[in-house]
């Protein structure tokens, strides 16, 4: 595998990463609710794309990765919007415990 330094000539997107611990037995309902909630997040300023993956070893855990143009597009723009309240109402009742959100920037890419 070849790796290279991230391109510093342009702003690197922010990668939001969060493990979502879904209450066991609620996985199908969560996946339906998440699919319905995608338009809420995708219309936000600075949203680039998202990926939701399910853990093979722990099928009630999901990995959500969202790319944003800038950190504040997520932490201020989305998190302080009315749309976030819709997102929260649609999805947060599935989680136990409440997930921790982290943000990353590229260092190397392969």
Domains of the chain: 12-105 (3.30.70.100)
Structure tokens given for 39: 């338009």
CB atoms within 10 A of CB 50: 15
Between 55 and 8, the higher pLDDT residue:
55
pTM: 0.89
Q: What is the pLDDT of residue 33?
A: 98
pLDDT tens profile 30-84: 999 999 999 999 999 999 999 999 999 999 999 999 999 999 999 999 999 999 9
The residues that bridge with 48 in the sheet, in sequence order, are none
Round the CA-based radius of gyration of the chain to a whole number and report it. Answer: 15
**Is omega for the bond preceding 4 within 30 degrees of 0, making it cis?**
no
76 φ/ψ angles, rounded to the nearest 5 degrees: -110, -60
């Amino acid at each position: 595998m070849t790796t290279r330094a991230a391109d510093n000539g342009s702003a690197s997107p922010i990668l939001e990463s969060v493990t979502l611990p879904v209450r066991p037995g609620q996985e199908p309902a969560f996946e339906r609710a998440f699919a319905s909630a995608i338009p809420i997040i995708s219309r936000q300023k600075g949203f680039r794309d998202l990926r939701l993956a399910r853990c093979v070893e722990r099928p009630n855990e999901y990995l959500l990765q969202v790319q944003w143009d800038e950190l504040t597009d997520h932490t201020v723009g989305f998190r302080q919007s009315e749309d976030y309240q819709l997102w929260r109402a649609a999805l947060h009742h599935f989680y136990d415990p409440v997930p921790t959100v982290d943000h990353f920037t590229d260092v190397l890419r392969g």
